[in-house]
Structure 1
């Protein structure tokens, strides 16, 4: 393939094919030529793994105000009320839209929506499809996107870096012009040209040794946006899911929070229920509280895990509500209807990310971000359960709406194709594997659930050394998928550590032994990191306000 043949033109490029990316793809004009880029198969991301559900105030006894209050409280004083209200107000519309796309939310005997309750929620407001909600949403969105003719799926392609006018040496204001992507089948880097790029690449939880996430969550979008001058915020708030299965053959299998919502209790090996000692809501406390409580008990008693027990509930009910979890556990020799499940905390969700407004716009014109990659202010210092799928849908739709309406000049500039004429194939692949393991291990040891100034200093020193080594390796050798991901992980690790060092208090998901107290509300601030190449707010365009338009119904479909 020649250099010219490797440049492909699109009206929009979407990096990531989970809920945020697919929701955006559905919302873009049908005649637009849109590239959907995924590292592996389109369903390999976090969305398809999501078990619990999507929060929405649809019950008669619930309200938008209550949803907002619960989210603000879970966010430990850092949630943006405007962002939270916009997302909460859109939630019932999203539920209706998903129903029209074919998502069959679980219903009760009266054919009414069956709502579960999860940590941080004071009402039952979590819509679900048994315990495989993410899979149902992923499949329905995928089907809707494939019904549109001009949607081009680039599977097994990994984004390497964003293309901007400044990096290309072009005159005028800096803006996004496209993306370099590595075709993992051919081994060649291809140039995708477009004036609109959406980062829907998920979080950065693979920066930790133990995580509930798929392999691809390596912070790619956050790292790429930072490198082109976009600010990031609140990356110290990495959420650890309290209940990941402890088993040698299933290290990343999540035990849904809904198990606790339906009466599951956390126990010590002697049967002692410990959560009431830590929070009035016990097992339904916010995730940061539950994760720290488990971590405390494990360290206090020298345990490898604690136990999650729902065996006191009727067996038929447990099997009916958690068929996927029950089936997986049975294959591993654990019958959750008769015995407790061994669980440990694991890195689960990135609450901070690339700063965007409520239309998904970043600091770089033409570049958008949505879902776990972005920071909108929705989650604050701790994400409330089942607000993540909701955010992906609302912000993916919002980004698509803004992309469709805003006037952007087409990316017609003559772009430089990827140049690998001065690099060679690596003869030391072991370096990548070694650095990958070292980075994830010191992040787990020093920047995990409980931190200290000494631990953070150690992590910062090691992160900087690794970044230098990885950058030298990146500059000298032909890139591989592992190297691309390692480069991004090292960038994000550095950002997480820098954010954690700046916060001189303990709040939400960030707990520092040297700063155990929480600052008063009037001193609550986001942690914002500004890259050296950030243009300054005075040079940024004024983004229009965000609105949720009514969603079109599809003929022949049933509403939720």
Structure 2
């Protein structure tokens, strides 16, 4: 498969290493979510670690996670059942070995979080366990009711800041990965205070998170602009499963307000989904009703919205104990009260939104990418855990487990490589480039997000994907060659690059599987029990991909 995505140059900006400041560290971690910081904490204290975060370190998808972490913590639960639930949700595309590894490590990794200072909710002295869609047992560990991510990140950030061997650069944009002679050597960064700088490292860990901002409706914060996916692609790294974006079924839908995630645990505790006529419709679509996996629930909601010609459906918790609900979901209770909604009495308007990017940098069970010297963990990666549809609360788990595994592998690499000696090479030389007329980046970003929601949303078809490809190609032709000098411009270039890869992969997969739903190919095809991988052939050349 050849993808006609223009890749006019290797780096987003031209630079001359002789004119920039240089920084040296043993390990650079790009991203400050659970995967990145767990990797940083796992590197031995004898090695220097630099964590680079695009925003404040507390601003990540991990911090916004509500539901919790899945793990077999109940003696009556079984690891084999968690494995089976994960494989079932993944619709045939999970890597069974990776699933086995992650699920078996989950309990110990969760207990490590407790040792690091995370306070999970308890009942009668034992860790409280919730249930979510797709799980056959209550196995979701949560904190502060519905603010699990915030509590976990509080503990991990505190630990990272206390480590003398770990430095954190906040509000610092990573522009590109530095590569030379087939190896990742570090990163090019920029911030308002330092300007551009080169950070050289013996190991680079990519943990930049997701791509939700490519879509008009999303649960992701504004920083989720697919930067890691795009910079890896420019560096020639293999990406996989880029057609698989998971849509969360329940996002608070109020015209004029920001979109807010309403955790799957609401349905796990018994909430119903009703349409605008009050009809509880999920049993019409799936025997598991509201506890079906996310792909099934999102697609059912979209179908019911189309059937009723209404822009949303509703969550109904009015039949549940009011005191229990307010105690179990204090954050959602506060949020809804701000909009004059009582979650114990009122119907809560919701619709699906882009939530989790399943596709990303292809990694093995140690987090190694196809590029020597580069590891990846968390949402930016494609580990094989999720297949075609992520099981609820397996995302924080993946970041936690792979962050630790990456750290172990990086430590082994540092030990094996011996003392570090680096002669700084002239990677790129500044050249004069044509300046184009001013571009309204805000308008372009809104247009791209609207296009992706229409054409690459919950349901796709060949005509819509072809239209999306034409439009994104047009934008790419005049945006990708442009010289920008601030993060907003680089983010748009990253979003366009990643969007084009996602569209190409979705057009290639002529079936419906998991979160990838094709109206023109509504059935799963056994011939498509394989992955689509993408890799740039080099600057100034059309990138190529393959399915396997």
Fold similarity call, TM over 0.5: yes
Quick check: 2:161–2:167 contact (8 Å CA) kept in 1? no
| C-alpha separation in 2, matches of 1:408 and 1:513 | 52
1:119 equivalent in alignment to 2:133: yes
1:388 to 392, 395, 402: 395
Quick check: 1:189–1:418 contact (8 Å CA) kept in 2? no
| C-alpha separation in 2, matches of 1:240 and 1:151 | 35
Quick check: 1:194–1:411 contact (8 Å CA) kept in 2? no
Q: Which residue number corresponds to residue 414 of structure 1?
A: 424
| C-alpha separation in 2, matches of 1:427 and 1:190 | 27
Q: Which residue number corresponds to residue 553 of structure 1?
A: none
Q: Which residue number corresponds to residue 508 of structure 2?
A: 502
Q: Which residue number corresponds to residue 182 of structure 1?
A: 190
Q: Which residue number corresponds to residue 454 of structure 2?
A: 445
Quick check: 1:193–1:411 contact (8 Å CA) kept in 2? no
- Residues 228, 115 of structure 1: CA spacing in aligned structure 2 closer, same or farther, 3 A cutoff? same
1:359 to 366, 377, 382: 366
2:466 to 450, 454, 457: 457
SS class of match (1:153): strand
| C-alpha separation in 1, matches of 2:496 and 2:167 | 31
2:531 to 522, 526, 532: 526
| C-alpha separation in 2, matches of 1:528 and 1:231 | 7
| C-alpha separation in 1, matches of 2:435 and 2:150 | 39
1:56 to 71, 74, 83: 71
Quick check: 2:388–2:514 contact (8 Å CA) kept in 1? yes
* RMSD (Å), alpha carbons: 1.9
2:289 to 268, 277, 282: 282
1:238 equivalent in alignment to 2:253: no
CA positional deviation for 1:425:
8.1
Q: Which residue number corresponds to residue 313 of structure 1?
A: 320
490-499 or 247-256: bigger deviation: 247-256
CA positional deviation for 1:422:
3.2
| C-alpha separation in 1, matches of 2:444 and 2:191 | 23
| C-alpha separation in 2, matches of 1:514 and 1:369 | 34
CA positional deviation for 1:203:
0.9
Q: Deviations over 1:433-467 (max 9, x none)?
A: 23222221111111110000101111111111111
Question: Can you give the 5+ residue segments of structure 2 that lack an aligned partner in the other structure?
Answer: 1-16, 540-548
1:81 to 75, 90, 96: 96
Question: Can you give the 5+ residue segments of structure 1 that lack an aligned partner in the other structure?
Answer: 167-173, 535-560
485-494 or 29-38: bigger deviation: 29-38
2:517 to 511, 520, 532: 511
Quick check: 2:20–2:198 contact (8 Å CA) kept in 1? no
CA positional deviation for 1:122:
0.8
SS class of match (2:111): helix
Quick check: 1:198–1:369 contact (8 Å CA) kept in 2? yes
1:101 to 116, 119, 130: 116
Quick check: 1:191–1:418 contact (8 Å CA) kept in 2? no
What's the TM-score once normalised by structure 2's chain length?
A: 0.92
Q: Deviations over 1:269-326 (max 9, x none)?
A: 2211000011111001010110011111111111011100112111110110000110
| C-alpha separation in 2, matches of 1:66 and 1:411 | 49
Quick check: 2:31–2:207 contact (8 Å CA) kept in 1? yes
Q: Which residue number corresponds to residue 558 of structure 1?
A: none
What's the TM-score once normalised by structure 1's chain length?
A: 0.90
2:488 to 470, 475, 482: 482
Quick check: 1:156–1:185 contact (8 Å CA) kept in 2? no
SS class of match (2:497): helix
SS class of match (2:260): coil
SS class of match (1:296): helix
